[in-house]
C-alpha cells in the first residue's frame, strides 16, 4: 500500500513550531504494510489542501492529513472535508480517546483519505487505530521499548531483523514496533536493554510494586524530574514516598545530612556526595530503596575535572549501594532527561540484581 502524509499549519510552514508527527505517523503505517512515499507540509488554505489532496489521490492508496479540525479561525480543514464528503462512497468517524476532535475517514473510490487532529497527544493515539485497520484480523505488531542504546546501534545489532522494525525515539527511550515473528529475536539480541514495560518509569514501578518496596529520590541537577517521571505512572503512590530536590548545597546538608566538609573536600558532583544523598533520603523518607543524583547539566558550571554532562548516580538500600558516573553530550534539557532516565535504569539494574530484596 502506497501512502502519503499531509501536515497542515502555518506555524509549521513558517518555522514557528516543530513538526512532531511525520516520523511516528510513517513508522506506524509502515508497521502495518503502508509505505509512506510522499510527505507534504502546507499552510491553512482550503484551496491549497484541496489541490494537494487531488494530486496525491491520483498516485496513492492512503492519504493521512493532520491539523485544522479545531474551532479556531486557522482551522480550515473542515471546509475541505465537507466538500469531499459529497464525493465519498463511505464516511466514518475515528474516535479520539484523549480529546474532543474526532477524526474523519473517507473512501473516495478506492482512495482512503484520513483526517486527524494536529495535536500530537491526540493524533499519535488515533494513528494507531488507522494503522491497525489496514490489516483487520491480522496479528498486530508488538511494541517494545529499549533504553541504553542509540537507534543506529540497535539497527546494527539487529541486522536483517532490524530492517523490519520501526524506530520511534522518545525522550531518550526508543520504541520499537516489531512484527510478532521477530519479537523473540529482538529480545534475545538486545537483552536487558529491552524493558518489561512501555517506559523506564513503568518498568521500575512494576518491580517495586511486585515486591512491595517503596522508593525515595534525592535530586540535584535534575530538579525533581525523576520524581515527576515516577509519578506520571498511575498508581505510583503505592511505592513512591517522595523526594528531596537538593539543588543548593545548604539543602544537601540541611535536609539530607550531607556533611559540609565532604562537599568542600570532594565537591558537590562526586561519588561520595551522591552516596551521602542516597543515605540521607533513605533516612528522611524511610523508603526501602532510593536513588540520588548530582551532576552538571550545563551549559555552564563545568570544569576540566567535572565537565558539563557529567553525572554521579547512587542507588540502593541502607545495606547496599551502587554508585556510578556517566558522561553525556546533550544540551541542558537533554542532559537532564538522560540523567533522570539513567538513574531509573540504574535502579532497575539494582533491583534485578537483587531479586531477594522485598518487603516481608
- Provide the percentage of residues in the chain whose pLDDT is more than 70: 98
Q: What is the arithmetic mean of pLDDT over 280-307? A: 96
Strands 310-316 and 289-295: antiparallel
From 3.40.50.970, 3.60.110.10, 3.40.980.10, 3.40.309.10, which CATH number describes the 2-133 domain? 3.40.980.10
- For residue 79, what pLDDT is reported? 87
pLDDT range class, residue 140, cuts 50, 70, 90: confident
pLDDT reading at 152 higher than 70: yes
pLDDT reading at 350 higher than 70: yes
What is the enclosing helix (H) or strand (E) of 254?
helix 249-256
Q: What is the arithmetic mean of pLDDT over 242-251? A: 98
- For residue 249, what pLDDT is reported? 97
Residues 312-346: tens digit of each pLDDT: 999 999 999 999 999 999 999 999 999 999 999 99
Q: What is the arithmetic mean of pLDDT over 89-116? A: 95
pLDDT reading at 138 higher than 80: no
Residues 52-89: tens digit of each pLDDT: 999 999 999 999 999 988 766 666 788 899 999 999 99
- For residue 261, what pLDDT is reported? 98
The C-alpha cell that represents 142 in the structure block: 508488538
pLDDT reading at 294 higher than 90: yes
Report yes or no: 56 and 63 within 8 Å, Cβ to Cβ.
yes
The C-alpha cell that represents 164 in the structure block: 523490519
| Residues shown for the chain | 360
Residues 186-240: tens digit of each pLDDT: 999 999 999 999 999 999 999 999 999 999 999 999 999 999 999 999 999 999 9
Question: Distance of CA 47 to CAs 9, 41, 106, Å?
Answer: 13, 14, 19
User: In CATH terms, is domain 200-353 a member of 3.30.70.2190?
Assistant: no
- Provide the percentage of residues in the chain whose pLDDT is more than 90: 91
pLDDT reading at 29 higher than 70: yes
> Rounded to 5 degrees, what are φ and ψ at 178?
-120, 140
247 DSSP 8-state letter: -
> Rounded to 5 degrees, what are φ and ψ at 311?
-140, 140
- For residue 74, what pLDDT is reported? 61
Residue listed under C-alpha cell 553525556? 328
> Rounded to 5 degrees, what are φ and ψ at 242?
145, -175
Q: What is the arithmetic mean of pLDDT over 144-166? A: 96
Helical packing angle, 77-85 and 46-56, nearest 10°: 50
Q: What is the arithmetic mean of pLDDT over 248-270? A: 98
Higher-confidence residue: 72 or 274?
A: 274
pTM as predicted: 0.86
Report yes or no: 279 and 318 within 8 Å, Cβ to Cβ.
yes
- For residue 33, what pLDDT is reported? 87
Residue listed under C-alpha cell 503512590? 237
- Sheet strands (E) in the chain: 2-8, 35-42, 62-66, 90-94, 103-108, 111-116, 142-146, 166-170, 173-178, 215-219, 240-245, 289-295, 310-316, 321-327
Amino acid at each position: 500500500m502506497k501512502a502519503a502524509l499531509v501536515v497542515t499549519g502555518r506555524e509549521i510552514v513558517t518555522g514557528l513550531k516543530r513538526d512532531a508527527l511525520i516520523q511516528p505517523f510513517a513508522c506506524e503505517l509502515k508497521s502495518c504494510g503502508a509505505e509512506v512515499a510522499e510527505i507534504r507540509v502546507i499552510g491553512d488554505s482550503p484551496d491549497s489542501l484541496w489541490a494537494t489532496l487531488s494530486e496525491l489521490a491520483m498516485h496513492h492508496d492512503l492519504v493521512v492529513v493532520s491539523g485544522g479540525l479545531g474551532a479556531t479561525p486557522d482551522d480550515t480543514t473542515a471546509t475541505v472535508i465537507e466538500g469531499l464528503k459529497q464525493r465519498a462512497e463511505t464516511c466514518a468517524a475515528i474516535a479520539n480517546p484523549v480529546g474532543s476532535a474526532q477524526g474523519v475517514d473517507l473512501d473516495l473510490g478506492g482512495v482512503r483519505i484520513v483526517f486527524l487532529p494536529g495535536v500530537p497527544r491526540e493524533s499519535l493515539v488515533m494513528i494507531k487505530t488507522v494503522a491497525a485497520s489496514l490489516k483487520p484480523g491480522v496479528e498486530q505488531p508488538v511494541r517494545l521499548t529499549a533504553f541504553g542504546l542509540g537507534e543506529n546501534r540497535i539497527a546494527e545489532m539487529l541486522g536483517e531483523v532490524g530492517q523490519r522494525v520501526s524506530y520511534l525515539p522518545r525522550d531518550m527511550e526508543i520504541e520499537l514496533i516489531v512484527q510478532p515473528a521477530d519479537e523473540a529475536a529482538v529480545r534475545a539480541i538486545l537483552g536487558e536493554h529491552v524493558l518489561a514495560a512501555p517506559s523506564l518509569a513503568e518498568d521500575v514501578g512494576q518491580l517495586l510494586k511486585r515486591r512491595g518496596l517503596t522508593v525515595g529520590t534525592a535530586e540535584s541537577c535534575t530538579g525533581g524530574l525523576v520524581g515527576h517521571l515516577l509519578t506520571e505512572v498511575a498508581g505510583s503512590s503505592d511505592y513512591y514516598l517522595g523526594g528531596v530536590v537538593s539543588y543548593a548545597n545548604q539543602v544537601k546538608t540541611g535536609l539530607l545530612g550531607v556533611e559540609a566538609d565532604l562537599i568542600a573536600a570532594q565537591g558537590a558532583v562526586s561519588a561520595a556526595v551522591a552516596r551521602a544523598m542516597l543515605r540521607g533520603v533513605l533516612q528522611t523518607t524511610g523508603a526501602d530503596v532510593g536513588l540520588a543524583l548530582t551532576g552538571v547539566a550545563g551549559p555552564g558550571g563545568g570544569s576540566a575535572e567535572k565537565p558539563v554532562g557529567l553525572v554521579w548516580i547512587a542507588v540502593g538500600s541502607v545495606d547496599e549501594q551502587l554508585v556510578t558516573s556517566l558522561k553525556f553530550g546533550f544540551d541542558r534539557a537533554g542532559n537532564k532527561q538522560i540523567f533522570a532516565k539513567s538513574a531509573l535504569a540504574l535502579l532497575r539494574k539494582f533491583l534485578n540484581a537483587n531479586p531477594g530484596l522485598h518487603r516481608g
